[in-house]
Amino acid sequence: GEPSRGVYLDGLNPEQREAVEATDGPVLVLAGAGTGKTRVLTTRIAHILSLGLAWPSQILAVTFTNKAAREMKERIHAMVGEEVEGMPWLGTFHSIGVRMLRRHAELVGLKSGFTILDTDDQIRLLKQLLRAENIDEKRWPARLLANIIDGWKNRGLSPQQVPAGEGAAFANGRGQKLYTDYQARLKALNAVDFGDLLLEGIRLLRENPDVLADYHRRFRYILVDEYQDTNVAQYLWLRLLAQGSRNVCCVGDDDQSIYGWRGAEVDNILRFESDFPGAKVVRLERNYRSTGHILGAAAHLIAHNEGRLGKTLFSEGENGEKVTVTGAWDSQEEARAIGEEIEALQREGHALTQVAILVRASFQMREFEDRFVTLGLNYRVIGGPRFYERAEIRDALAYLRVIASPADDLAFERIVNVPKRGLGDAALRQIHDHARAAQLPLIEAARELVGSEELKPKVRLTLRDLVASFDRWREQMATLPHHELAEIVLDESGYTEMWQKDRSADAAGRLENLKELVRSMEPFENLIGFLEHISLVMDVDSGNGGDAVNIMTLHSAKGLEFDTVFLPGWEEGVFPNQRALDEQGRAGLEEERRLAYVGITRARRRAKVFFASNRRIHGLWQSAVPSRFLDELSEKDVEVTESRGGSGWGGGQGGGYAGRYGYGPSRFDQAETFGSSYSTPGWQRAQNAAKSGSGFSEGRSRYAASESARGGRIIE
């Protein structure tokens, strides 16, 4: 049907409507989760189009992910119908940055067909530069330099703008020069990296007033979602463009700022008001997404942060189900319990697409993926690869595959020079040639070449060592438990070390994933059995398009909503994440808490928090301490449940414990205290915790004192 004019405004509340209709001048919408910020943006675009205030191409709208951009496009179409020709400039900062740069490449010294380097290319280039400068890569790894340069770019700093002294952070003060050289190399290659997409865009607009004026005329309306997570470069770029029409509308929530570690600055919200004086500030207070208990628990949690801008948030819907907190024995039981609950929801007729599992770190996904494959439950991983498809997991598996079946050439090829051991393309070509001529698997061809004079001496030695290592590992396969073997292989091959030395932001996560891989091997009888399982898991169609459970990190869940949200792994160290605490202290804790707030507020009707009492680390059971965030959920909104199935599950694992977290053998004493404390009412919990000296009583009493929610309306 054809929507009649203005219909899209129906159902908006007065504040939302105000934000939609205030098309002239700067507008800042500052509001809590689920209050309709994104809906306001979408409706605002529809409104502008349907009043004929601008052509689609005169609108610039920035979303945080490409997925969000696609969804927004669909909604706009649904609102204004197909008759509106063309589409707005709608995408992420990066995608819009590329589009703009392609149009004016020559002006920043590029050709229009420039390439965009990925991280690997970037590192390779930096390595070349380090080598040219005779800088010891062991002391000053390329990845560290890449981080430093990215940081500068996020802050909008060109090489000339890097503050004096900051270059000292790398190679005794050579950081800035290397940055200069790097940019020159990129130009010579007709290439840019990710950070350049905006940095060069800023330069383009600053150095070419006519181009800037052109964009000022073009973009009559600018809109930005998730504004709290913009970094300085994005902000500068935006400000340049918005100073034309000044019709700029940003929406955000300081409580959902979760990319501080990547250079996002909440202060951009404050800057907005000073850069755009007279900006209309709209506050939305009614949450349309979640039921009362969910909102109450989330609001109470986030109230523990200091330095908030402060907001009111209420829901007028029913209170609904309480947020459940469930303790499980370990992460495997946690996955079982969640699997059962999802199957129960499915039996009741709920769609799996309306179910999400939000994890803090990618390693947590493994347990769920394995479980769902066993259950035949469709799932899809959003915002990243599935666990077994991650690069580091594929590498590790490749080592194991060569051990289990030496003729696996693909696997051998994958890891022959990972980590780098000087077996480059030339060496590999020789191995290939010989393999083809002699009709041998690559590793056997390599063995024969080691005995001949054909290879360069250094290459020969390296290859000899590698072949010998594989021989040794294959022998050990017969004597060692396969998960121990895996650990040895990762160590002796230098693969673990490669990531330990890597100082990029994701290295720690990769090491966690590797540990998780080793952990996941234990239940299998032998290496072959494990690898068979992997090929089955990899073969499962990841539910593309069909009805499937969504698994993703809390970070990629921003802006999304689901009827049911599972939040596993609420344990100290996992969530809040230990590294965030170690590296960022109080600021790190507050960002973790905002992440928890984002997690809970994704739920429409059911939020289900889980923690495991035990985690297996390096093959040893360690008792886990329930997350402090559990105690920061308001008691009146929370129901503490026991994991389903009681003694029925867990019976087969862990060697004879009763299967419920409260009944572990005595060596799990501490875990028992925590575990059982979570099946008792709150005040007793506090006492138990106090008795066990865990320090949780402090959290409890603070909680009791600051309880301020009344009848579904939470005022902070």
Binding site for ligand ATP (CB under 6 A): 11-13, 16, 31, 33-39, 253, 256, 288-289, 559, 561, 601
Q: Confirm or deny that 36 is annotated as ligand binding.
A: yes
In whole angstroms, give the CA distance from residue 331 to residue 570: 11
Q: Decide whether 520 or 601 has the Cβ nearer to Mg ion.
A: 601
Length of the chain: 716
Answer for the pair 610, 337: CB distance below 8 angstroms, yes or no: yes
In whole angstroms, give the CA distance from residue 95 to residue 99: 6
Residue of 63, 122, 256, 553 marked catalytic: 256
Q: How far is the CB of 633 from ligand ATP (least distance, A)?
A: 18
Alpha carbon distances (Å) from 565 to 278, 350, 526, 550: 40, 13, 35, 10
The yes or no reply on residue 38 touching Mg ion (CB under 5 A) is: yes
Residue type present at position 666: S
Name which of residues 511 to 570 contact Mg ion (CB under 5 A): 559
Find where tokens 């073997």 sit.
Answer: 485
226 is catalytic: yes
The upper half-sphere exposure of residue 426, i.e. CA atoms within 13 Å in the direction of its Cβ, equals 7
Q: Which does 288 bind (CB under 5 to 8 A by kind): ligand ATP, Mg ion, none?
A: ligand ATP
Residue of 16, 37, 155, 571 marked catalytic: 37
Q: Confirm or deny that 507 is annotated as ligand binding.
A: no
Alpha carbon distances (Å) from 457 to 365, 452, 454: 45, 10, 9
Q: Which does 12 bind (CB under 5 to 8 A by kind): Mg ion, ligand ATP, none?
A: ligand ATP
256 is catalytic: yes
In whole angstroms, give the CA distance from residue 651 to residue 321: 30
Q: Decide whether 122 or 556 has the Cβ nearer to Mg ion.
A: 556
The yes or no reply on residue 34 touching Mg ion (CB under 5 A) is: no
Rounded to whole angstroms, the maximal C-alpha distance in the chain is 84
Q: How far is the CB of 559 from Mg ion (least distance, A)?
A: 4
Q: Which does 39 bind (CB under 5 to 8 A by kind): ligand ATP, Mg ion, none?
A: ligand ATP
Residue of 150, 226, 265, 591 marked catalytic: 226
532 is catalytic: no
Q: Confirm or deny that 396 is annotated as ligand binding.
A: no
In whole angstroms, give the CA distance from residue 473 to residue 489: 7
Residue of 15, 150, 196, 225 marked catalytic: 225
Alpha-carbon 241 to chain mean position: 29
Q: How far is the CB of 284 from ligand ATP (least distance, A)?
A: 7
In whole angstroms, give the CA distance from residue 26 to residue 277: 8
Q: Decide whether 159 or 252 has the Cβ nearer to Mg ion.
A: 252
Angle at 464 between CA 458 and CA 468, to 5 degrees: 150
Q: Which does 654 bind (CB under 5 to 8 A by kind): ligand ATP, Mg ion, none?
A: none
Residue of 73, 371, 602, 660 marked catalytic: 602
Which of these ranges, 38-46, 232-240, 306-314, 492-500, lies near Mg ion under the rule CB under 5 A? 38-46
Residue of 15, 16, 38, 334 marked catalytic: 38
Q: Confirm or deny that 690 is annotated as ligand binding.
A: no
Q: Confirm or deny that 33 is annotated as ligand binding.
A: yes
Q: How far is the CB of 7 from Mg ion (least distance, A)?
A: 22
38 is catalytic: yes
Q: Decide whether 63 or 643 has the Cβ nearer to ligand ATP.
A: 63
Alpha carbon distances (Å) from 168 to 144, 415, 566: 13, 36, 45
Q: Which does 13 bind (CB under 5 to 8 A by kind): Mg ion, ligand ATP, none?
A: ligand ATP
In whole angstroms, give the CA distance from residue 420 to residue 259: 32
In whole angstroms, give the CA distance from residue 527 to residue 566: 32
Mapped onto helix, strand or coil, the DSSP state of residue 427 is helix
Active site residues per annotation: 37-38, 225-226, 256, 602
Binding residues: 31-38
Binding site for Mg ion (CB under 5 A): 37-38, 559
